[in-house]
Amino acid sequence: MISLANTDDSFINIYKTYRNTVFGIAFNYTKSNADACDIVQDVFIKYLSSKNTFNGDEHIKAWFIRVTINESKKHMMSSWR
């Protein structure tokens, strides 16, 4: 099992691995660089504050995809848009 560690090195590795995937999904929903960057920030903040433990890389990737989709939908439904 992979534990969600809040160490700088582990976060940097996770960020480098999944940032493009998260940005791509967010951009696909919003069609805006600024909005996609905001969603990326929100998703990684959720990751850092999450208490989840992951069973492997595929589980982490699935978590990022699902959370990004949910954040993108939430952003699109926001009254600020």
Q: What is the CATH number of the domain that holds 64?
A: 1.10.1740
Q: Kindly report, residue by residue over 8-63, the tens digit of the pLDDT.
A: 788 899 999 999 999 999 999 999 999 999 999 999 999 989 887 888 889 999 99
**Taking Cα atoms as reference points, which of 64, 67, 65, 70 lies closest to residue 14?**
64
Instruction: Measure the CA–CA gap between 4 and 44, rounded to whole angstroms.
Output: 12
The domain of 29 spans 2-77
Which pTM value belongs to this model? Answer: 0.84
Instruction: Measure the CA–CA gap between 71 and 48, rounded to whole angstroms.
Output: 15
- Domain count across the chain: 1
